[in-house]
Each structure stands twice: as structure tokens, then as C-alpha cells.
A and B are shown apart, each in its own frame.
Chain A
């Protein structure tokens, strides 16, 4: 199982792509689906690689995504 998880509040997303670009393990990609504001939110294509570092959370200007580590 992945060390970390990433949570996405798709409705808050404005599709800027910061999280996708700067995820160190390239967990994310922008989804082809739209949210109700018409933006493409990110989607974890490689969830198993998520370290839970929360860099995506630090980058996201819309507070729409964050990462965390699973308690062991």
C-alpha cells in the first residue's frame, strides 16, 4: 500500500495544474472531466506512488488538494 494519500476537493479546484507539475512522484494528472465551474481537477493516476508529502497541498492556491501520510 502507498505510504501516503491525496485528497481532492474537486469543486474547489481551478485547474491551474500546480499540483500536477510539482508532485515529486508524479502521482497526479489533470482529469478530462469538468467540475461545475468548468475546470479540470487533478486525478491520481499513480496513487500507489504517493508519499503523502503534501507538496500538492502547499502549492494549491485554492485549498483544493492535500496529501497526508497513513498512520501505521
Chain B
């Protein structure tokens, strides 16, 4: 299926990451957004609010982020593709509903434009310190997907991908921008609608009598229905069986929770999204994402000019984490260098995946600005020694 031309602003634009993100959601078919204003993410819904009335859809500014993050899920069960947008404190408030989307397998997108924290922190300045929160912020075990654009163009492209993955796996997908990417203005090319692939919702073709709302298909993902179509189905945030009925048994819990993680395995392995360069003969690999990947690019070039065999591994999908790829690399490189605008979050994952076969050097930065490329270069030089 391809995009509905009504939402696609085909052409060449000069817009920032937040605006490009909004265009991506429209191209993906989102016709419902709920939000609550917060810097540096509000521009996404501001643009949506101005665009949607002539396309045919709804933006509602809710009373808080708790409301926004559950209103989108009501809309999804009413048949919409829907998303919400936030930053920092608002993302913290949404955590319970990321869990709700995970357990009810509600396809939806959360856009988080990261700023410095904790608490109110640095409202207008960048950080990448929500990466672990995105993965583990709600209580319990579950899986999510997190995508990490590093340019306005990618904000557009990955917003479409985010919706597509959320539909394919029936999972909440996080779009992890940072303030720099959100506010950076660059050329964004939006293609014709016909060349934008859009994943349709996995609506069941079974009649109500034969339909069981949480019965997994071969890929572990159940088929969906929406309210109003005569299925008289039940959705609950309690642990539930294949009928969707609450079940307080350990074995139901085990089956459900494992499936919520296992259904995402293809994304952890073969289908993990990443951008790599010069890995074949690399002795040092720089693992980075979002704005930091662009700063790291400078350091990588400088390192290569100095004769260091430095390779690049950019996380485009940070979650599920591409453990298998990192593990494979760990067997043949000396070290990983992980610069990030936090005190070492994804570095922990790299270290875990490397299983001690290669060193992991965290180049931490508390946020507010970006790294000095020389700091990353120094780490690369030290790693190659």
C-alpha cells in the first residue's frame, strides 16, 4: 500500500526536524494527534494543527501528557493512525501509557525530542539521556522500538518507518530526536505519494465468531479489529489470554510477556536499522546516534587521516538493540567508542553485547551542547593504542 496523497507534501523543502517529523506522520497516514506543549518538541504538533484541518483529521491539545498518551490509543482502537509528541518531563508522564500500548499491542508512535534532564533540566538545549527510559521507562517486561534520526530528512523518512513498524509489529514506536536534530533546518525531499510505502493495519478477515483478539499469528503478532465493527471485543491492561480476558495465572503471564518481546526479534537481528562505514578492516568502531553521529563523523574523518582504521556504526534503530551485529564486530575489533549526550547509556548496551571481547569506551557528555569532535578523536586514538 502507498501513502494517501492528501497527506503528502511532495517537493523540496527547507524545514527543521520537528516540522519534517510532522510531515512524515502525515505521509504515513496519521490523522489523529494529541499533545501537550513542551519545548523543544511543540513545533511538531503546531504544524500538525495547522495542516490537519484541510487534510481531514484531528489534533487535540489535551490537559496533560497522561491524557495525550492515552487519547491516541483510544483513537487507534477507533481506527486511526495516531501519535503524540513530547520532551523531558512530558515523556516521564507518558511512561504508564507506553506500557499500556505494549500490553494491549496498540500500534502508535511517541515522538520524544530530547532535552537535558533530570526534571525540568535544560528545556531548550539538547541531550540524549532518555534512551534507557524509552526502553525501560514503564514497569514490567515488554518490547518497544526506538528510531534515532540524525537529520531533518531522516525525521521525515523515519516517521514513516515508525508508523510502518508500529503496524507490522503492533508495538509502540519511539521517535528519539534530540533538540539539535529537532531544531536543525536542512533540505528535506518529500517524494510522490506513490513511492512512499505505508503498512496497513493488520485487520482480521475472520468473522466475529472465529476471531480471538490476542491470538498470535505465525510471526507472533495478533490481528486487530476496531470498535464499531461488531466484534464486541475486550481490551485490558491486565494480563490477558488469547481472548483478551484477564487471567491471573503465571503461565498466561509468561506466555504473554515473552511474546511481547519475542515478536520483535526480527528487528533485533536481521532487520536492525543501522548505517555503517569502513567496518571491514576496522580496529576501532564508533557507535553513535542522533546528533552525536554527525559530530562523530568529523572525528572519524580526522582519525582516518591519521591512519587509524576507524569504522562507523550508527544506530538508526536503537531498540531493539542490534546485539548480534555488535557481538560479531567485537570478535574482530579492538574497541568501541561510544559518544553520547548522556553519562553512558547506550555504551552499557554496547559493552553488554561485546561480552568482553572488545573494550567499550564511553565518551560521556551531560548535554546542553554537543561534543567537541576532538574529544571523540582522542578517544579513538586512545582506543587504537
Q: Verify whether A and B have any Cβ pair under 8 Å.
A: no
- A-side residues, CB < 8 A to B, are none
